[in-house]
Structure 1
Amino acid sequence: MPRTEAHLARHTNQKLKGVSFAVIGAIFWGASGIFTQTLFTDAGVKPLWLVGIRLFFAGLLLLLWSGVQEPRMFLAIWKNRHDAILMIVFAFLGMVPSQLTYFLAINAGNAATATILQFLGPVFILLYVAFATHQMPRRIDFVSITLALIGTYLLVTRGHLTGLSLAPAAVFWGIMAGVSQALYTLLPRTLLAKYDARAVTGWSMLLGSLPFLPQYVLHPNPLLTLPDFGAIAFVIVFGTMFAYLLVLGSLNYISPVATGMLSAFEPLTATTLAVTRLHIAFGPAEWLGGILIILNTLLQALPFNKIHHVQQRLTRQFSQKTKS
């Protein structure tokens, strides 16, 4: 095979690998929301208990993996005072809120709407960037915000002007999941650029599990069946550890733009499984609202380079303030 053809084949294989990683990771995330909902509704599992269990065991597994693969990077974060502080900030202002608000949104509503509302994250990112840089959002940003607002309205009201089709708590926690997703995206960029992603994610999860310790030590969940333990194992291993690693690993082969767009498989998976397996009613207004919210995410992915550059600069500024 000529060199150019071999290079092209290698490039195609790497791109296919990256796409596969991103899609499978997103599907794992979406499916874990369905398992979470069944644990809440059928097994009586409490959200705080499951968040604590998920963070503790997923964080422990990631740290063990990182310790075996990258032993020199395992404790490196804690040898740098500035990075250690940033890790603590990320754990309690990024990781914990993103996990907790998502689970509370599922508990108050359902996995499909919680996952879709979580995709409001890019809207809050662009609003933060506009505020921090003292610049008005671009035209495409206004279009994106408008689509997100219309989509959210359709999703939570089913197109009726008279009231909400979702419980107010489900709407509140779903929107907070979007805010938390923005924080989760913005905070760890400096750490991920310097350290092993498994160590960064693992330490943030393990630290984040500490506030929930009383929930799963002093108040253990009663009478779980074997299928319940299987669902918990899926949420921890596939819906958390492998999902994070696959999505982060996809960035080694494809651009962040492509990874961001392929993340749309998460709400698609959650919604499809919610309708087909859990028989949750999802009418035309909800489908249209979900599509508009996901479209807002895709629009934000298109001019990613500019936003990414600004986010990196803001992260460096934040890091310098923390260090000082």
Structure 2
Amino acid sequence: MPKSQLPELSRRSGFVILPFFLWGTAMVAMKAVLPQTEPLFLAGMRIMPAGLIVIAAASWLGRSQPMGWRAWLWISIFALVDGFLFQFFLALGLVRTGAGLGSLIIDSQPLAVALLAALIYQERISWLGVIGLFVGVVGIGLIGLPADLLTAFGQGDLAAVIAGGVFTTGEWLMLGASLSMAVGTILIRPVVAHADPVAATGWHMFLGGLPLLLLSGMYEQNQWQSLVNWQWLCIAYAAIFGSAIAYGLFFYFASTGSLTTLSTLTFSTPVFALLFSSILLQESLRSVQWFGVGLTLASIYLVSGRGSVTEAELEPNQVDPA
């Protein structure tokens, strides 16, 4: 599918938003389980079984399995960055920071994707798309930042903002997760140049989950002894829906469409996370957060519906052959 068809797909089908809905609700499920388990165990249990599911689905659908050293090399790099490192930073960061601020940092990665895609793949977005990117950053900032930090920032008290704990261990871990996801999104194109995107997605989750469970066995204790039935269901939801289905859809879309346009939909993830945490975990949204939700949705429209530059608008030598 050409890149220019992705905005049309987003208008015609709800599937393009589904990965971000599943990721947002999976964050809620993980946060609910985390007090009764260990972060590396939870991260490994989220993606390694999901990888096996996707690999089995690829075989059932008749998709080709990776062949040749180039395919396995790119899949291994992909597994290291987007599988192991992303989940490693995410799980450890989720222990040390709030869900709102964590989502804010992770889901600001479309800016890094836009920059990398412009440098590496010569992707272009219009000035409306650029505005949409920054509107999205402001929106998720209003959603995730604590009220006292927003007040201090509005008053120009930079010292109070820094003292308020923005740059702590948990936030740096979430930043690592954000950058890992951005690089992983960029890597999908060389991966699918040598392997089927569905099979590659499954193998990268399986291979990325192995070291997480290995490290959990070496350094963590009582990973599952305190878990009850509903918590196992939460882990299963995060694995099947929040990983197997979400990652399969996301990297399929990423392999066939505009990386900048698709990645900007990531701004919707903290919206879904906060909405469902307010319903299921009784966390309330402040009025400023609802305003942030509105800005976030506006940014998605600007970049996905109005902000992309189609192939017809590019010079012939600017069109990415992928």
Instruction: Please say whether Structure 1 and Structure 2 have the same fold, judged by a TM-score greater than 0.5.
Output: yes
Q: Where does 1:1-324 land on structure 2 (aligned, <5 Å)? A: 19-41=13-35, 43=36, 45-70=37-62, 73-74=64-65, 77=66, 79-129=67-117, 139-140=127-128, 143-144=131-132, 146-147=134-135, 150-151=138-139, 154=142, 155-158=144-147, 159-161=150-152, 162-163=160-161, 164=164, 168-193=168-193, 195-218=195-218, 219=221, 221=223, 222-247=225-250, 265-289=268-292, 291-292=294-295, 295-296=298-299, 298-301=301-304, 302-303=307-308, 305=310
- TM-score, with length taken from structure 1: 0.73
Provide the residue aligned with 1:7 in structure 2: none
Q: Which amino acid aligns with 1:201?
A: T
Structure 1 gap segments, 5+ residues each: 1-13, 317-324
Q: How many Å separate the matches in 2 of 1:27 and 1:275? A: 15
Q: How many Å separate the matches in 2 of 1:152 and 1:265? A: 9
Which segment drifts farther, 132-141 or 293-302?
132-141
Task: Please give the root-mean-square deviation of Cα atoms over the aligned residues, in Å.
Answer: 4.1
SS at match of 1:28: helix
Alpha carbons 1:18, 1:250 under 8 Å: kept: no
Q: Report the Cα offset of residue 109 of structure 1.
A: 2.6
Alpha carbons 1:122, 1:300 under 8 Å: kept: no
- TM-score, with length taken from structure 2: 0.73
Residues 99-119 of structure 1 show CA distances to partners (whole Å, capped at 9, x for unaligned) of 233333332233344334322
Aligned length: 295
Q: Report the Cα offset of residue 290 of structure 1.
A: 5.3
Q: How many Å separate the matches in 1 of 2:289 and 2:129? A: 23
Structure 2 gap segments, 5+ residues each: 1-7, 153-159
Equivalent pairs: percent with the same residue? 19
Change (3 A) 1:102 1:144: farther
SS at match of 1:187: helix
Change (3 A) 1:66 1:132: closer
Q: Report the Cα offset of residue 35 of structure 1.
A: 0.6
Q: Report the Cα offset of residue 31 of structure 1.
A: 1.2
Alpha carbons 2:48, 2:209 under 8 Å: kept: yes
